[in-house]
Amino acid sequence: MQRGIVKWYNEGRGIGIILAETDKKELIVSHKDMNGPGFKILFPGQRVEFEIVQTKKGLCATSVVSINDI
């Protein structure tokens, strides 16, 4: 698992950017890639853990969970 910080998240569109801690890469994140029940949202500055996957749109974060949820 990688760790990072949420750079921004658009609740209306359900997408955002996570900045990876190790190499400072920007990763796309979608609400469908967040773990947990119910309505999912991220907040700028929130610390998260995730896996990185390569897609046709670029590097993306998947299996995203808040560090506080661990």
- Considering the entire predicted model, what is its pTM? 0.86
Give the pLDDT confidence score for residue 70 in this predicted structure. Answer: 46
Q: Tell me the pLDDT of the chain (70 aa) as tens digits.
A: 999 999 999 999 999 999 999 888 999 999 999 987 777 899 999 999 999 999 998 999 999 999 975 4
Q: Walk me through the domains of the chain, giving residue ranges and CATH numbers.
A: 2-69 (2.40.50.140)
- Tell me which long-range contacts 22-26 makes (C-beta under 8 A, separation of at least 24): 25/59, 26/59
Residue whose C-alpha is closest to residue 48's, from 22, 19, 9, 28: 19
Give the pLDDT confidence score for residue 37 in this predicted structure. Answer: 75
Give the pLDDT confidence score for residue 69 in this predicted structure. Answer: 53
